[in-house]
């Protein structure tokens, strides 16, 4: 017979074994206790032509979103399939460097969102659009679909079609695409992703049903940049709401609003601009930020800014200590340049980690060919 002590130790061993078995089963079933690493989603511009994939650091990315796929006659459409197909092949080869890398097509964008509203207007048109989108990733062995509709039920580029029904049709579109992806998952035996890029301001939430739409989505990419304020010179991508001028817009404000609207914070991905915005002050230059501007434009990427303009050619570097972002001021030309640098990237990564967000995404890869910002992201999320 075993002693009482022996029986107790036997019981304890059995209990520990059972606990370990249950824990392993949970991990196998997707309930792993180890926290998922933040995603790093980079948009690459297929509209530039053939991609130079040699400069893409595959190991520092989790997802690549290929921009853009157009919409024609209610279907997702490759405007230059010969170039696109070559780019898809090259991007897929990057998986030799990072087997976990996911390649998605991004449909729409600022210039190609004009036909979304018509494409998803009815049950039958949504089925056609969803099938055509998924057919592209089926044909080229890609990993998912990203929707960049700018914007449902709101004006985007001049001439875009939009209507009140977009609010509900936006959700129904995701439902239909998810159904098609489920079929492809079953056929291929591989998981397929559905994501979306959304405006980083509160008005977008009034025009959509993000609390409902999110159930079909893996990630919601917040475009927390181009946060303009009428004709005011602004930080176009503030992390926190500044006190230099009147505004309600910031990455922090967007995250809080989307969570309040019902989007789980772990699905939210913070957008980072690798490009800059240049403003020209109207009248006498005083403080710059908060002044009235006479012109603004999409400007150079960070490699050019860092190597050629920071404290050079009349541009002096400043930092908004509340918004946590840098800007340049040129007293001679009365120009203000709002941009990202390594320090603001560090702050963004800190915010993502502390708030348990899904990760970060950036627009776009070619804006920083020396990879200053991607390297900062890689360090900041470790």
Residue indicated by tokens 């049709």? 169
324 preceded by cis ω (within 30°)? no
Q: Terminus-to-terminus CA distance in the chain, angstroms?
A: 54
Residue with tokens 């230099």: 244
- Residue spans of beta strands (DSSP E) within the chain: 39-45, 63-72, 75-77, 102-108, 144-148, 193-199, 219-223, 268-273, 275-281, 293-301, 315-320, 325-330, 335-338, 359-363
Structure tokens at 134: 């998924």
Catalytic status, residue 150: yes
Active-site hit among 75, 114, 150, 209: 150
Residue 118 CA to residue 321 CA, distance in Å, equals 44
What is the secondary structure of 11-54 as a DSSP string? HHHHHHHHHHHHHHHHHHTT--SSPPPPEEEEEEEGGGSS--GG
Q: Among all chains, which residue has been given the structure tokens 């004009």?
A: 114
Number of Cβ within a 10 Å radius of residue 283 = 10
Active site amino acids: 150
């Amino acid at each position: 017979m075993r002693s009482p002590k022996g029986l107790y130790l036997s019981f304890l061993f059995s209990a520990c074994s059972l606990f370990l078995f249950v824990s392993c089963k949970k991990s196998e079933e997707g309930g792993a206790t180890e926290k998922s690493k933040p995603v790093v989603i980079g948009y690459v511009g297929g509209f530039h032509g053939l991609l130079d994939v040699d400069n893409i650091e595959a190991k520092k990315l989790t997802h690549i979103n290929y921009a853009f796929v157009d919409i024609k006659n209610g279907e997702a459409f490759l405007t230059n399939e010969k170039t696109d197909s070559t780019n898809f092949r090259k991007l897929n080869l990057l998986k030799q460097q990072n087997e976990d890398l996911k390649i998605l097509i991004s449909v729409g964008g600022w210039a190609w969102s004009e036909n979304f509203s018509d494409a998803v207007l009815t049950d039958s048109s949504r089925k056609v659009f969803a099938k055509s989108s998924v057919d592209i990733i089926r044909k080229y062995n890609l990993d998912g679909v990203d929707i960049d509709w700018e914007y449902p039920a709101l004006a985007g580029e001049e001439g875009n079609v939009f209507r009140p029904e977009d609010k509900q049709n936006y959700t129904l579109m995701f439902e239909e695409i998810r159904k098609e992806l489920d079929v492809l998952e079953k056929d291929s035996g591989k998981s397929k992703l559905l994501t979306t890029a959304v405006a980083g301001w509160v008005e977008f939430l009034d025009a959509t049903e993000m609390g409902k739409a999110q159930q079909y989505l893996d990630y919601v990419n917040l475009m927390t940049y181009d946060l303009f304020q009428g004709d005011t010179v602004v930080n176009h991508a503030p992390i926190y709401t500044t006190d230099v001028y009147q505004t309600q817009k910031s990455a922090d404000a967007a995250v809080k609003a989307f969570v309040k609207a019902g989007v789980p914070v772990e699905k939210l991905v913070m957008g980072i601009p690798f490009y800059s915005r240049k403003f020209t002050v109207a009248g006498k230059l005083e403080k710059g930020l908060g002044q009235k501007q006479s012109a603004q434009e999409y400007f150079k990427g960070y490699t050019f800014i860092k190597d050629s303009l920071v404290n050079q050619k009349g541009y002096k570097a400043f930092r908004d200590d509340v918004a946590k972002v840098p800007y340049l001021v040129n007293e001679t030309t009365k120009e203000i340049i709002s941009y990202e640098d390594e320090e603001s990237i560090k702050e963004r990564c800190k915010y993502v980690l502390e708030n348990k967000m899904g990760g970060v995404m950036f627009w776009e890869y070619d804006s920083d060919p020396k990879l200053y910002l991607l390297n900062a992201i890689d360090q900041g999320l470790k």
